[in-house]
Structure 1
Amino acid sequence: MSTVPALYPCTIAHVRTTPWRYALRHRTYMWLVDPARPPRLPPLLRPFARFDPRDHFTGDRPTLRAGLDAFLAAHGVDLDGGSVLMLTHARVLGYVFNPLTLYWCHGPEGETRCVVAEVHNTYGGRHAYLLRPDTTGAARTKDARTEQAFHAEKQFHAEKQFHAEQGFHAEKQFHAEQEFHAEKEFYVSPFFPVDGRYRMRLPPPGARLDLTVHLDREGGRAFTATVRGTRRAVSTASLLRLVLRYPWSTLAVAAAIRAHGIRLYLRGLPVQPRPGHRTTEKAI
């Protein structure tokens, strides 16, 4: 299991493939922490890294771990005291925006029991997905799925082959990594309705951070997001370097998402109606 806390300078990339191809890349950094024991930094650094329970789940629990445990309990999951790894953005100078926070949840023997993917949108909403490993994906037959899913899987394996040929790390371990599926239930981008299915590759962070989320809709793959980074030990020097390199890091993430949204709108991409606050968590 990865040593916590840790820092991950990383590159976040989004690729939209319909109705036309559009890509963006953004550099930032994320934290890997134990939500039961978030890091306590020197007073000088605390304004640049605050982990507030109000920023996650219902926002009314006393600690980060209590918020997670309440969510799991509502879905019939008990970790029996097992550990959790949380990948997230911290509050920086009082502001935070977390497009995606991940929780790798383990039992007392260290086995992975589930992953929780907590999504925030730019409208102040949040929603959490409870994910369990898809242990049968490779064994599905064509008869047991739709033609769309069949072609999506062919595309998925073609992408794997491409990455292997390009020498991307960890491809030889692909089949040992956990893969997750989830129906989309939450309005995120104003240019996508609430439909489709997520396909996620979420190996626990180690020396490298390497996450992939696909959104498949009718007609094929519509969107892919990746997060790639390298672990750094937490120290005063390492955090100060990142703060200076990426000032107002979470505000920059939110601003970049809005700026690219305006650009897509001006190019004529239609805005999808936003449904009522379809979320299992309340907005703060």
Structure 2
Amino acid sequence: MRHRTYMWLIDPDRPPRLPWLLRPLAGFDARDHFGGSLRTIRAGLDAFLAARGIDLDGGRVTMLAHARVFGHVFNPLSLFWCHGPDGTPLCIVAEVHNTYGERHCYLLRPDGAEVSRVDKEFYVSPFFPVDGGYLMRLPEPDERLSLTVRLEREGSSPFTATVRGVRRPATPRALVRTALRHPWSTAVVSAGIRLHGVLLYLHGLPVRHRPRHLPQEGVK
């Protein structure tokens, strides 16, 4: 299944400041990421990393995520490319939300081919248990976005998600045009995922038990 939408590539230290009339179309709220209790998204990221012994020492961060649209947001996957003070890439944080209101962060250290492997620790789809692992190819975007996340279980790869896109300046005119083309985009993404799940269930795919979610340190 394919979903067409748009995402924001921003510096969480300097989120876009939109004209007053356009602010309902794009909001960036610290409550939507990590523990949700600190003042800024960057503060939440730094606290998550500090709990794992990582200090960016003020280094640059690039964030890819959906923004709030008319107060609503759903981010199946938010990404944070983290650099040291000299610009050296240090790690990637992949923050995953499920449709049950839970979230989990994976700390990734890509190899020389920009590939990361990590055990699956979070219930996302009702059709897959919490086992196996992910292979993620998450190069930091330049003019184009090309991401791949593949679930690997017992020698098979039952699920692969790809995200492709082209970078565009977020001018007021471009934002209005994009919002008209994809109205209330985050709600549409959330609804599309649920609809896909219903269709799979109606086709006889069995539902797996959802285990109790235990929040991580620095994530709620």
Partner SS state of residue 119, structure 1 = strand
1:262 matches 2:198: yes
Residue by residue over 1:238-277, the C-alpha shift from the partner in whole angstroms, topping out at 9 and shown as x without a partner, is 1001100000100000000000100000111000000001
Query: What corresponds to 2:178 in structure 1?
Result: 242
The higher relative CO (CA closer than 8 Å, separation ≥ 6) is in 1
Show the 5 A alignment for 1:1-284: 24-135=1-112, 175=113, 178-280=114-216, 281-282=219-220
Shift of 1:234: 1.2
Identity across matched positions, percent: 67
* Aligned-partner Cα distance in 1 for 2:208–2:32: 26
* Aligned-partner Cα distance in 1 for 2:70–2:172: 17
Query: What corresponds to 1:144 in structure 2?
Result: none
* Aligned-partner Cα distance in 2 for 1:73–1:48: 32
Which has the higher mean CA deviation after the structures are superposed, 247-256 or 219-228? 219-228
Shift of 1:133: 1.7
TM-score, normalised on structure 1?
0.76
Are the aligned partners of 1:185 and 1:278 in contact in 2 as well (CA < 8 Å)?
A: no
Residue by residue over 1:120-166, the C-alpha shift from the partner in whole angstroms, topping out at 9 and shown as x without a partner, is 0000000000001235xxxxxxxxxxxxxxxxxxxxxxxxxxxxxxx
Residue by residue over 1:25-69, the C-alpha shift from the partner in whole angstroms, topping out at 9 and shown as x without a partner, is 000000001111111110011001000000000100000100000
Counterpart amino acid of 2:44?
Answer: G
* Aligned-partner Cα distance in 2 for 1:42–1:213: 35
* Aligned-partner Cα distance in 2 for 1:250–1:234: 17
* Aligned-partner Cα distance in 2 for 1:108–1:90: 27
Are the aligned partners of 1:186 and 1:279 in contact in 2 as well (CA < 8 Å)?
A: no
* Aligned-partner Cα distance in 2 for 1:217–1:111: 33
Are the aligned partners of 1:209 and 1:228 in contact in 2 as well (CA < 8 Å)?
A: yes
Partner SS state of residue 109, structure 1 = coil
Are the aligned partners of 1:103 and 1:116 in contact in 2 as well (CA < 8 Å)?
A: yes
Counterpart amino acid of 2:14?
Answer: R
Query: What corresponds to 1:142 in structure 2?
Result: none
Q: Which runs of 4+ in 1 moved over 4 A?
A: none
* Aligned-partner Cα distance in 2 for 1:273–1:126: 17
TM-score, normalised on structure 2?
0.97
Counterpart amino acid of 1:130?
Answer: L
Residue by residue over 1:171-228, the C-alpha shift from the partner in whole angstroms, topping out at 9 and shown as x without a partner, is xxxx4xx111110000000000001110011110110000001110013111100000
Are the aligned partners of 1:134 and 1:181 in contact in 2 as well (CA < 8 Å)?
A: no
Shift of 1:279: 3.4
* Aligned-partner Cα distance in 1 for 2:140–2:111: 15
Q: 5+ unaligned residues in a row in structure 2: which ranges? A: none
Counterpart amino acid of 2:68?
Answer: R
Are the aligned partners of 1:186 and 1:278 in contact in 2 as well (CA < 8 Å)?
A: no
